[in-house]
Amino acid sequence: MSRIAILSALAQEQHGLLALLLQPQKVQRAGREFWLGDLHGHSVVLALSRIGKVAAATTATALIEHLAVTRILFTGVAGGLAPDVQVGDVVVASSFVQHDLDASPIFPRFELPLYGRAVLACDEILSALLFQAARDHLAEASAAAPARHRVHRGLIASGDRFVSAQAQSVALRRALQRAGHEALAVEMEGAAVAQVCLDYGVPFAAVRTISDRADDQAHLDFATFVREVASQYACAIIGRALRLLSNK
Ligand code: SAH
C-alpha cells in the first residue's frame, strides 16, 4: 500500500489539511502526533516536522520506520535569499544544502561527511508535480486578485538558524556562491528530511512559501505572513498536487 506523508513546519499550515482529512486516526510516536487518513483519494499521514534539522529528521525517520510512508511532501515557509525571490512567492525545491555544515578542512565546506556530496536532490517527479500545483494555484489566485507573485524552482539552504538580518543573509548567500551553490531561499528543516529520505530511498519533495526576506524585518514579516497567507497556500498547493497525482 502506498502512503504519502505531508509534513508541515507549523501548526497553522496543518490546520486546513487536517480539516479535510477523512477517517482521521491519531497515532503517537517519539513525542509527536501523526494523523492518518484519506485526503483527495490518497492514504496519507499528516505530521508536524517541528523546527530545526534534528527535530525534522526525527519526524521523517518515525514516518518511514513506524508509519510505513512511501513518499514525503513538505510544506512550509522560508526566507528569500536570491534577490528576485520576494515575500508571497513560492519556491519549489529541486535540491537542498545544509548551510551550517562545515567539516573543513577535512571535507569541503557544506559537504556531508561520508556522503561525498553537499547537494541532496529532490525526487524529480514529485518536485515537478509541486511546481505545477503551485503555478496553477498562483495563476488562479491572481485571476481573482491580481498580484505579481512568482513560482521559482531551485536550491534551498537549510540550517539551525532563523536568518533575520540583512548582513547575515548576504554573507550566507555569498559563502554558498563561493562553493558553487546558488540558493533561492533559506529555512530550517528541508535538507535534514532530504538526507533521511536519501538514506531510506524514499522519494521527497518540498514547497516553501516566502514569508520574509531573511533581513532585519524578517521576524515581523514572518509572523504576519504565517497567520494570513501560509496556511491557505499550504492547503491549496498540496490539495492540487494530490489531485494531479491521482490523474497520473
Ligand atoms: N515558532 C516561531 C518561529 C518559527 S522559526 C514562530 O511561530 O514565530 C521559522 C520557521 O520558518 C522555520 O520552520 C523555518 O524553516 C522557516 N523560516 C522562515 N523564514 C526563515 C528565515 N528567515 N530563516 C530561517 N528559517 C526561516
Distance 248 CA to ligand 1 centre (A): 34
Q: Can you give the pLDDT at residue 201?
A: 98
Mean pLDDT of 53-68: 98
d(CA 131, CA 92): 6
Predicted confidence band of residue 227 (pLDDT cuts 50, 70, 90): confident
Give per-residue pLDDT as tens, 195-226: 999 999 999 999 999 999 988 888 777 777 78
Give per-residue pLDDT as tens, 108-130: 999 999 999 999 999 999 999 99
Q: Whose CA is nearest to atom 7 of ligand 1?
A: 223
d(CA 71, CA 120): 16
Beta carbon of 218 within 6 Å of any ligand 1 atom: yes
d(CA 12, CA 34): 15
Q: Whose CA is nearest to atom 18 of ligand 1?
A: 78
Distance 83 CA to ligand 1 centre (A): 19
Give per-residue pLDDT as tens, 177-195: 999 999 999 999 999 999 9
Give per-residue pLDDT as tens, 71-110: 999 999 999 999 999 999 999 999 999 999 999 999 999 9
Q: Is 243 exposed, middle or buried (0-12, 13-18, 19+ CB in 10 A)?
A: middle
Q: Can you give the pLDDT at residue 147?
A: 74
Beta carbon of 222 within 6 Å of any ligand 1 atom: yes
Residue 203's SS3 state is coil
Give per-residue pLDDT as tens, 28-44: 999 999 999 999 999 99
Beta carbon of 186 within 6 Å of any ligand 1 atom: yes
| Nearest Cα to Cα of residue 141 among 187, 209, 93, 59 | 209
Tell me the residue type at 14: Q
Q: Can you give the pLDDT at residue 74?
A: 97
Q: Can you give the pLDDT at residue 1?
A: 67
**Radius of gyration over alpha carbons of the chain, in Å?**
17
In this structure, the number of other CB atoms found within 10 A of the CB of residue 139 comes to 10
Residue numbers annotated as active site: 13, 212
Q: Whose CA is nearest to atom 8 of ligand 1?
A: 223
Tell me the residue type at 32: R
